[in-house]
């Protein structure tokens, strides 16, 4: 009796990216005028935010997600019916129920795709990317997964509150994760500390605190609030710890990383963490300067922006780390390998264009006027 044949392990790689931001720009000068005090020095120089984008009154999370998703699919040369699974990472959902993913799946016409939301706050995208990778590895039914991070937090911001109005913004980013014959995503890790859950969030509107006339009249718990400041060491110590752990599992070192992507909430924190890791700031890519802080969407938006700016080459090691309310934190290490995909036995051809994120039928059609890191 012959020995059973074993299939080689399935890998998963990101083959395309896309992003979208609303047209409405809000500058620090505009917020300073509305708040009655100059906020520009701290917001620009400490947080690194010069302006941000916010949704129009008739624009919402599903609109942002759909546009980013279409761009990623276009750049991958795929139709919506090619998608096996759609995951939307958001904590600003279109509705309590149904899921935002269901809405986006219907709009896209991705009729073959399963769809679900994932809420891990600002760690949502790296968590969803981790889930997508493991779906592809574990089940041959899933060869193409569309992962979207979408954020419309302006709908929950009190613009009289300088703690939140100066930081939070709207946008969406998407990636196509595809079965590959070469390693793409290499390692990941998730972390949480639920004792910090009461510190920040939108606390009314769910089962614990339904919206009532009194809640609306008070106008506090139904808006995004910093109730208690998170200790600085949550990110300044937590990010290096989880990054080193993931790199060790990937068999890599800090100096091997070509591009570091961190939650885009505080430029000073990113500088401190890069210093703690002994890495030059030039290896980090930031987008908060032009887009503000877009929570679960900021990492795929930064990845897309870095690809647009030509900062990624085949084989580059990229590390994405996200953290946010919960506390939730996640980290993913990956090889930038958009041309190493193999789906249902058909190997993708190498991109004809010079941009490493583009596939043969893809075009970079982003409407955004600015590219490159804020640094």
The per-residue pLDDT for 181 is: 87
Does the pTM of the predicted model rise above 0.75? yes
Residue 355: both structure tokens together: 């941009």
Angle of CA points 87, 66, 301, to nearest 5°: 75
| Strand residue runs (E) in 126-256 | 144-152, 170-180, 185-192, 200-201, 225-226
Domain ranges of the chain: 11-185+338-347, 187-201+227-335
Contact 285, 259 (CB under 8 A): yes
CATH of domain 11-185+338-347: 3.40.47.10
The per-residue pLDDT for 10 is: 87
Residue-wise pLDDT tens digits, 37-93: 999 999 999 999 999 999 999 999 999 999 999 999 999 999 999 999 999 999 999
Average pLDDT across the chain, whole number: 89
Contact 370, 45 (CB under 8 A): no
Q: Does 187-201+227-335 match 11-185+338-347 at the fold level?
A: yes
3-class DSSP state of 31: helix
Q: Sign of torsion, CA 213 217 223 229?
A: negative
Residue-wise pLDDT tens digits, 109-146: 999 999 999 999 999 999 999 999 999 999 999 999 99
Give 251: exposed, middle or buried? Use CB within 10 Å, 0-12, 13-18, 19+.
Answer: exposed
Best CATH choice for the domain 187-201+227-335 from the list 3.40.50.1370, 3.40.47.10, 3.40.50.1100, 3.90.226.10: 3.40.47.10
Nearest Cα to Cα of residue 180 among 16, 14, 304: 14
Contact 86, 148 (CB under 8 A): yes
Residue 100: both structure tokens together: 């935002």
Q: Which residues contact 57 (CB under 8 A, 6 or more apart)?
A: none
């Amino acid at each position: 009796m012959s020995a059973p044949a074993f299939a080689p392990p399935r890998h998963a790689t990101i083959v395309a990216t896309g992003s979208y931001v609303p047209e409405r720009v809000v500058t620090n000068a505009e917020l300073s005028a509305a708040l009655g005090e100059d906020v520009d020095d701290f917001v620009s120089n400490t947080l690194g935010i010069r302006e941000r984008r916010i949704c129009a009154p008739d624009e919402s999370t599903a609109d942002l997600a759909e546009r980013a998703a279409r761009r990623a699919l276009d750049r991958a040369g795929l139709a919506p019916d090619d998608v096996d699974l759609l995951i939307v990472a958001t904590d600003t959902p279109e509705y309590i129920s149904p899921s935002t993913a269901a809405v986006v799946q219907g709009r896209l016409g991705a009729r073959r795709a399963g769809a679900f939301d994932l809420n891990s706050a600002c760690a949502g995208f790296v968590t969803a990317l981790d889930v997508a990778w493991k779906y592809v590895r574990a089940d041959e039914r899933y060869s193409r997964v569309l992962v979207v991070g979408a954020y419309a937090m302006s709908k929950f911001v009190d613009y009289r509150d300088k703690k939140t109005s100066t930081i939070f913004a709207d946008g969406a980013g998407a990636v196509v994760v595809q079965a590959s014959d070469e390693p793409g995503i290499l390692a990941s890790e998730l972390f949480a500390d639920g004792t910090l859950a009461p510190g920040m969030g939108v606390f009314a509107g769910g089962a614990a605190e339904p919206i009532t006339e009194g809640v609306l009249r008070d106008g506090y718990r139904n808006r995004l609030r910093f109730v208690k400041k998170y200790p600085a060491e949550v990110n300044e110590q937590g990010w290096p710890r989880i990054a080193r752990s993931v790199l060790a599992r990937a068999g890599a070192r800090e100096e091997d990383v070509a591009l570091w992507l961190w939650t885009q909430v505080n430029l000073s924190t990113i500088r401190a963490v890069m210093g703690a890791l002994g890495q030059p700031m030039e290896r980090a890519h930031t987008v908060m300067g032009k887009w503000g802080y877009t929570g679960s969407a900021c990492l795929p938006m930064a990845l897309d922006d870095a690809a647009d700016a030509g900062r990624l080459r085949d084989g580059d090691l990229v590390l994405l780390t996200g953290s946010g309310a919960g506390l939730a934190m996640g980290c993913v290490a990956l090889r930038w390998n958009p041309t190493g995909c193999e789906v249902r036995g058909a190997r993708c051809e190498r991109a004809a264009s010079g941009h490493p994120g583009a596939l043969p039928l893809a075009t970079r059609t982003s409407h955004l006027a600015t590219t490159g890191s804020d640094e």
